Each structure stands twice: as C-alpha cells, then as structure tokens.
Amino acid sequence: MYFLGIDWGASIFKIGLVKDSQVLYLETADSRFFSNPGSLYSFILSFIKKHTSLRKIRGLGIGCPGVVDVRRGFVYYFPNIKGWKNVPLARILEGRLKLPVYVDNDANMVALGEARFGAGKGFKNLIVITLGTGLGAGIIIEGRLFHSPFTSGSELGHITVDYQGKRCGCGSFGCIETFVGNRYLVDYARSLLKRKPSNIIKEFLKRDKLSPKLLTQAALKGCKVSQEIWERTARILGRFLVGLVNSWGPEAIVIGGGLSGAGKFLFGPLREEVRRLAMPPQNRYVRILRARLKEKAGILGAKEGLIDYKLG
C-alpha cells in the first residue's frame, strides 16, 4: 500500500507517492496553478493514475500554504493564493477520491518530516523553521505536532522583533518575516548596495538577479557587504530564536529553506547569539541544526500527519 503526500508551498507545489519513508515518485507544479478544489483534484487523480491505481492508496496528506483548521480539514485562507477562502478541502477531496484526507499547514508538514526522518530525528521537543518566501514553522512537543485550538497554528513568522518596525503583509509591525523573508532580505540588500556598492556582487549581477543564493556566493568570494548582510540577518534571527528558546525550551531548532543555504554565514552567528543570550539552562542544551531532507520533507511529513491524526 502507498500514501500520497502533498507539500503545497507559497511558490512550489509538490506531490509524492510514498512507501514507508521513501518518496517513490515526485512531481512539481506552480502553487498558483490550483485556484480551486476541482483543478487540485484532477492533478492528484492524474498523478495517481500515472504511477499506480486509486485502490492501492491508503490516504492523502496535504500541507497547505496558509491557515487551516486541522480538525475539520478546513481552509480559512491562503495569504498568497487567490480563490481559497473558507473551503472545506478535506471533505471535498474525500468525497471525490473516496480516501482519507488530512489537511494541515505546509510548515507543519515540513516540520514533521524533518523531525521524524531528518535533522530532528531523536529529539522529542523541537521547532523546525523554514526560511523561504516567509518564515514558516512547526512545533513538536513530546513527539506530536502542536496545533492551536482554532487553526493549524503556529504562525511564528508573525512575532514582532521590532514593535515600531515596518508593516508586514499580515498587517502587524516588525514581524520577524519582514527581516528574513526572501523578498524583504533582497530589498534590504538592494538598499544597502546603493550606499555601499560591491564589485563582486556587480559581477554576479551580470548573470543572475539578486537573491539570497547570490549573496551567499558573493560572501564566499569575500564580499564584505554580503557578509555584513548575513551577519545582520543572523543577529536579528538569533534574537528571535532566543525568544523561542526562552518560551518553548526546545531540545533543538532545525532550520531549512532557501536562506539556510547561507551555511556558516548564518549558523555561526546564530549559534553564538543563542548560547550568549538565551536563558540558562536551555541555552546550553538547545541545538541549532540545519535541515537535511530538502524537497522531500513536506511530502514525508504530510504522510506522517495523515497517519498520526487521521488513520491513527
């Protein structure tokens, strides 16, 4: 028997056929391609038929790019994709596919995957953060995902680290996402480069557009401006992590997503800040780790979510 896992991020949609902890087949699409449950259903069905048959599937787990009620499998809204407001997604897909369907948040599913099969393996209490378009996170307490009473929670990206800071897409001010979200980071880099031009970056910009990846490549070539950008980003993210360590006291914080590609430029100062500024004794115990599973985390997590909360 097989499982289906879907990792529907803000930009990329991934579907995978899973057996045990292996993703046998994986397909991707543009996340905004699915503007209603009908188009989603058709895509899922054709994926199944391409690789196996419906009666060999035990169920489907979906990590969605927004706020959902996991108990009812109900989509409240997706901040970045139109057409998804108050949709009883699990009920609709269950009706059509005749399969158990579990609906959760994408960051939660990535967290569960990373916790069970990736860098979080062996820890019972951990936070998994994905740094991409925004800052997504899932929290695992005693081996189980934390869900808030009304939603999939936790929207850790929308905790302020600067109460007088700039307005965030969510409507609040100075959310951590406004410092480490991809677009915000690139905006900051652009404004800094106006004041402090960098020849190394200028070279890169002939071939590529400005991105976190380009800033890492430039930093590796010795670009001081890029290094400064990473240091600032790590320091702000570090002070945010200190709050998480003080409030949740996890054994580990696992960080993945695009920005984690900055490697030592991010993780070095991050670990330092947490050791130095978080409260004892957690500051000594907590481990800050880089995610391992890459693009398969969310698919594997969605399968685990399905088993834990729907089939279990």
Rounded CA separation 166/183 (Å)? 14
Under the binding rule (CB under 8 A), the answer on residue 285 touching its own copies is yes
Is the four-CA dihedral 160, 214, 253, 66 of positive or negative sign?
A: positive
Under the binding rule (CB under 8 A), the answer on residue 161 touching its own copies is yes
Tell me the window of 106-114, 167-175, 255-263, 288-296 that interacts with its own copies (CB under 8 A). 167-175
Smallest distance from the beta carbon of 209 to its own copies, in angstroms?
28
Please say whether the beta carbons of 116 and 300 come within 8 A: yes
Which listed residue (228, 251, 272, 308) binds its own copies by CB under 8 A? 251
Under the binding rule (CB under 8 A), the answer on residue 239 touching its own copies is yes
Residue 50 or 276: the one with the smaller Cβ distance to its own copies is: 276
User: CA distances (Å), 49 to each of 57, 58, 100, 108, in order?
Assistant: 11, 15, 18, 28
Tell me the window of 31-39, 87-95, 103-111, 276-284 that interacts with its own copies (CB under 8 A). 276-284
Smallest distance from the beta carbon of 95 to its own copies, in angstroms?
24
Under the binding rule (CB under 8 A), the answer on residue 235 touching its own copies is yes
| Number of chain positions touching its own copies (CB under 8 A) | 47
Residue 53 or 164: the one with the smaller Cβ distance to its own copies is: 164
Under the binding rule (CB under 8 A), the answer on residue 192 touching its own copies is no
User: CA distances (Å), 97 to each of 49, 57, 59, 93, in order?
Assistant: 12, 10, 9, 6
Under the binding rule (CB under 8 A), the answer on residue 46 touching its own copies is no
Smallest distance from the beta carbon of 155 to its own copies, in angstroms?
4
Looking at residues 94 to 123 of the shown chain, list those that interact with its own copies (rule: CB under 8 A): none
303 phi and psi angles, rounded to 5 deg: -65, -40
Rounded CA separation 189/7 (Å)? 29
Would you call 273 exposed, middle or buried from its count of C-beta atoms within 10 A (0-12, 13-18, 19+)? buried
Under the binding rule (CB under 8 A), the answer on residue 164 touching its own copies is yes
Q: What DSSP string runs through 108-154?
A: HHHHHHHHHHSTTTT-SSEEEEEESSSEEEEEEETTEE---SSSS--
Is the four-CA dihedral 127, 67, 172, 180 of positive or negative sign?
A: positive
How many CB atoms within 10 Å of residue 301? 32
Which listed residue (29, 32, 51, 76) binds its own copies by CB under 8 A? 76
Residue 51 or 158: the one with the smaller Cβ distance to its own copies is: 158
Task: Tell me which residues touch its own copies (CB under 8 A).
Answer: 67, 76-77, 124-125, 141, 146, 148-151, 153-156, 158-164, 170-174, 235-236, 239-240, 242-243, 246-251, 276-282, 285
